[in-house]
Amino acid sequence: EDKVVQSPLSLVVHEGDTVTLNCSYEVTNFRSLLWYKQEKKAPTFLFMLTSSGIEKKSGRLSSILDKKELSSILNITATQTGDSAIYLCAVDEGNTDKLIFGTGTRLQVFP
Amino acid sequence: DAGVTQSPTHLIKTRGQQVTLRCSPKSGHDTVSWYQQALGQGPQFIFQYYEEEERQRGNFPDRFSGHQFPNYSSELNVNALLLGDSALYLCASSLDREETQYFGPGTRLLVL
Q: Are B106 and A42 in contact (CB under 8 A)?
A: yes
Tell me whether the omega of the peptide bond preceding residue B61 falls within 30 degrees of 0, making it cis: no
Q: Which amino acid is at A37?
A: K
A1 touches chain B (CB under 8 A): no
Question: pLDDT at position B98, please?
Answer: 78
B15 touches chain A (CB under 8 A): no
The pLDDT tens digits of the residues spanning A5-20 come to 999 999 999 999 999 9
Nearest to A60 by CA among A39, A43, A77, A40: A77
Chain B: give the shortest CA distance to residue A80, in Å.
Answer: 23
Q: Reduce the DSSP state of residue A62 to 3 states and report it.
A: strand
Nearest to B35 by CA among B79, B91, B73: B91
**What residues in A contact B99, CB-CB < 8 Å?**
31-32, 34, 48, 50, 92, 97
Q: Are B5 and B74 in contact (CB under 8 A)?
A: no
The pLDDT tens digits of the residues spanning A28-78 come to 899 999 999 999 888 999 999 997 768 899 999 999 999 888 999 999 999
Name A24's Cβ contacts closer than 8 Å, sequence gap at least 6.
A4, A5, A7, A69, A70, A71, A72
Point out the residues of chain B with pLDDT beneath 50.
Answer: none
Q: Reduce the DSSP state of residue B84 to 3 states and report it.
A: helix
Distances (CA, A) of A95 to A3, A61, A92, B46: 15, 30, 9, 16
Q: What integer is the mean pLDDT of A82-109?
A: 94
Distances (CA, A) of A37 to A46, A104, B72, B90: 7, 9, 26, 14
**What residues in B contact A4, CB-CB < 8 Å?**
42
Question: pLDDT at position A67, please?
Answer: 87
User: Which residue among B44, B100, B105 sits closest to A34, beta carbon to beta carbon?
Assistant: B100
Report the alpha-carbon distance of residue A50 to residue B65 in Å, rounded: 32
Report the alpha-carbon distance of residue B6 to residue B93 in Å, rounded: 11
